[in-house]
């Protein structure tokens, strides 16, 4: 386990993922009945952008570092929940601190909602546990997120979100993510599932999406932000595949993603995708009567 998110916190991929995560949570808060959030690859919850790891890469500068200036009147209100969480995190922990997904979830969780954060890295898991285990409606689990997922769903709540955000360090992890997603959706058909994926090679992403879209989701939304042309080597984009998305998300992403593509493009190239994927038609198991 070499990946440490502290090197990448606040980069363009985090901005995209976290702004959309906040939109999904805002939607879940729209109904009174409690919801559950499961974050299978949680990291340490918040990051110091002035710390040694972030300083080494300075990736945040081309991400959250470019977000200070407000966007136009259509986009800025959509970013408000994300910006509010960042503001609250900075106020509590210092101006250079950036919230990870657990901090965003915590901020938007209501007292009757619940969340489980899973992290496998022993040191990062210990930090996460120290930061969140005392919160009454949050549980931190130090274990493999894929194994935890099997035991954690379906939860007793009908509504909720599973965020799957692996480091994709090993070959074949995209294929594994697609098959685990399909399995998880079968077991919690009313849950929202958001899988983050790195975009380096477009052909690889096409097979991942094709493998995932065989699932029994009502609906799959493919959201992508490209800050460069994919060359198969460098991280050129960030994707979020959302199964059973809130009905509001496609419209919101359709406004957010082009604005982020323009703002976060590396050179002159910024692009986005906001595509609703059709559910596979059911296979005929019998001939006509
Ligand atoms: N979701 C976090 C956020 O948005 O702030 C970032 C997560 S980071 C991309 C991926 C995390 O997964 C790392 O902290 C890594 O240690 C952890 N990890 C790697 N393999 C794992 C596994 N099998 N189960 C759970 N966590 C794992």
Q: Is 268 a catalytic residue?
A: no
The one catalytic residue among 165, 201, 228, 231: 165
Positive or negative: CA dihedral 41, 44, 45, 49: negative
- Dihedral of CA atoms 243, 195, 18, 8 in degrees, nearest 10, equals -170
In CATH, the number for domain 5-153+160-277 is 3.40.50.150
Q: Is the minimum distance from the CB of 124 to ligand 1 under 6 angstroms?
A: yes
Ligand 1 midpoint to CA 154 (Å): 21
pLDDT digits (tens, 9 = 90+) for 121-147: 999 999 999 999 999 999 999 999 999
How many Å apart are CA 161 and CA 24, to the nearest integer? 8
Instruction: Determine if residue 213 is labeled as part of a ligand binding site.
Output: no
Please tell me the residue having the least CA distance from ligand 1 atom 17: 41
pLDDT digits (tens, 9 = 90+) for 11-56: 999 999 999 999 999 999 999 999 999 999 999 999 999 999 999 9
Q: Is the minimum distance from the CB of 164 to ligand 1 under 6 angstroms?
A: no
Please choose, from the candidates 105, 55, 59, 115, the residue with its C-alpha nearest in 3D space to the C-alpha of residue 85: 105
pLDDT digits (tens, 9 = 90+) for 207-248: 999 999 875 556 899 999 999 999 999 999 999 999 999 999
Q: What is the ipTM of this complex?
A: 0.99
pTM for this entry: 0.95
Q: Any idea where the domains of the chain sit in the sequence? A: 5-153+160-277
Q: Is the minimum distance from the CB of 224 to ligand 1 under 6 angstroms?
A: no
Please tell me the residue having the least CA distance from ligand 1 atom 12: 41
Q: What is the per-residue pLDDT for 285?
A: 47
Ligand 1 pocket test, candidate residues 19, 41, 174, most atoms within 8 A of CB: 41
Ligand 1 midpoint to CA 7 (Å): 13
């Amino acid at each position: 386990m070499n990946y440490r998110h502290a090197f990448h916190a606040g980069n363009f991929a985090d901005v995209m993922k976290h702004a959309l995560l906040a939109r999904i949570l805002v939607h879940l808060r729209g109904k009174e009945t409690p919801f559950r959030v499961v974050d299978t690859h949680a990291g340490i919850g918040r990051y110091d952008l002035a710390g040694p790891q972030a300083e080494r890469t300075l990736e945040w500068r081309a991400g959250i570092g470019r977000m200070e200036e407000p966007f136009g009147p259509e986009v800025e209100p959509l970013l408000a929940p994300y910006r509010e969480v960042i503001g609250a995190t900075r106020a509590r922990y210092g101006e250079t601190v950036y919230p990870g997904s657990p901090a965003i979830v915590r901020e938007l969780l209501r007292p009757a909602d619940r969340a489980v954060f899973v992290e496998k890295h022993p040191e990062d898991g210990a930090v996460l546990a120290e930061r969140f285990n005392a919160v009454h409606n949050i549980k931190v689990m130090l274990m493999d997120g894929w194994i935890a997922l099997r035991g954690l769903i379906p939860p007793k709540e009908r509504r909720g979100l599973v965020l799957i955000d692996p480091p994709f360090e090993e070959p074949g992890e995209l294929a594994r993510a697609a098959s685990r997603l399909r399995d998880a959706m079968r077991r919690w058909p009313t849950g929202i599932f958001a899988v983050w994926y790195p975009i380096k090679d477009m052909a690889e992403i096409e097979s991942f999406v094709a493998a995932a879209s065989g699932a029994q989701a009502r609906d799959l939304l493919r959201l992508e932000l490209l800050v460069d042309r994919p060359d198969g080597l460098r991280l050129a984009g960030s994707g979020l595949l959302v199964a059973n998305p809130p009905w509001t998300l496609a419209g919101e992403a359709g406004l957010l993603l082009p604005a982020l593509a323009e703002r976060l493009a590396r050179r002159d190239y910024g692009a986005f995708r906001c595509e609703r994927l059709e559910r596979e038609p059911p296979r005929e198991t019998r001939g006509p009567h």
